[in-house]
Amino acid sequence: MSRRVALVTGASRGIGRACAIALAHRGLDVVVTARTVHPGDRFEYSSTLKRKAAKPLPGSLEETAAEVRALGVDALVVKLDLSVRDDWPAAIEATMQRFGRIDVLVNNGRYIGPGHMDPFEETPLELIETMFVCNVFAPLHLIKLCVPIMKRQGGGIVINVTSTAGDRETPAPIGKGGWGLGYSVTKAAFNRSVPGLAKELRPHRIAVIGLMPGFVATERMAIELGDFGFDAAKGLPVDNPGRVCAMLATATDPMVFSGRDIFGPTFHEDHANVRFS
């Protein structure tokens, strides 16, 4: 029988990469998706936003895939820019062509780019619209494409990487430890999708779980966000949410967690005695 298959968005680095590797450790084949296919890839943004190309960061899909394959399972690299609508169905089609199944969808990717930490008055509404496309519509579309596949298979798991930013506002000002409005409002919408979808999809044995990773020290946090008041030295390692993601994906009965937001920093300890396959 073929191995279970997970598709992870935003898997070139950070939490997405950690999720992909942790899933591979537990024996799943992994489809890794993001914009950065090759090391050093750069991206141009809409000219109307008047922003320069983003600075390359460490990490790429090719590197994540190599780490996954080193663990004895298969990896498929698929370029997926969440702001490009044609990429959404293409990623699902490529997965089905290669593996013929999708058991776990991890919606981790979100909009990252120039202006996402700017004050509201300095943020073009076009940028907030793009954030809604990337942070809300793209993952919902991926779920919609996966649901018929999972129903045919008798069930599946959707793990949405949520955020406390969608539930409460930071007292710190933007640029001094606070986040931009676009991130807050899009994460609020994304967070709310978990209980609603879980209710609808429960009869089909499709679990929809929110994973709140907490404050995690990603590569981007360490390299770029210090100027905005974020101290990566105080963050959790990316392995923490990665490990929790894999635990949820291999739970004996994932429906136990469906509709809930799981707080990553404490989940592993709290569920040390729960059996995972």
Q: Which residues are catalytic?
A: 183
User: How many residues would you count in the chain?
Assistant: 277
CA angle 110, 24, 251 (to 5 degrees): 85
**Cα–Cα distance measured from residue 25 to residue 272, given in angstroms and rounded to the nearest whole number:** 18
Under a CB-based contact definition with an 8 Å cutoff, are residues 123 and 130 in contact?
Answer: no
CA angle 34, 75, 13 (to 5 degrees): 35
**Cα–Cα distance measured from residue 47 to residue 50, given in angstroms and rounded to the nearest whole number:** 5
Q: Which of 183, 184, 181 is nearest to 122 (CA)?
A: 181
CA angle 5, 8, 11 (to 5 degrees): 130
Secondary-structure breakdown of the chain: helix, strand, coil percentages, each rounded to the nearest 5: 45, 15, 40
Q: What is the CA radius of gyration of the chain?
A: 18
Q: How far is residue 37 from each of residues 9, 17, 58, 80, 107, measured CA to CA in Å?
A: 12, 13, 12, 9, 18
Under a CB-based contact definition with an 8 Å cutoff, are residues 132 and 231 in contact?
Answer: no
Q: How far is residue 79 from each of residues 84, 94, 98, 156, 164, measured CA to CA in Å?
A: 11, 10, 15, 23, 28
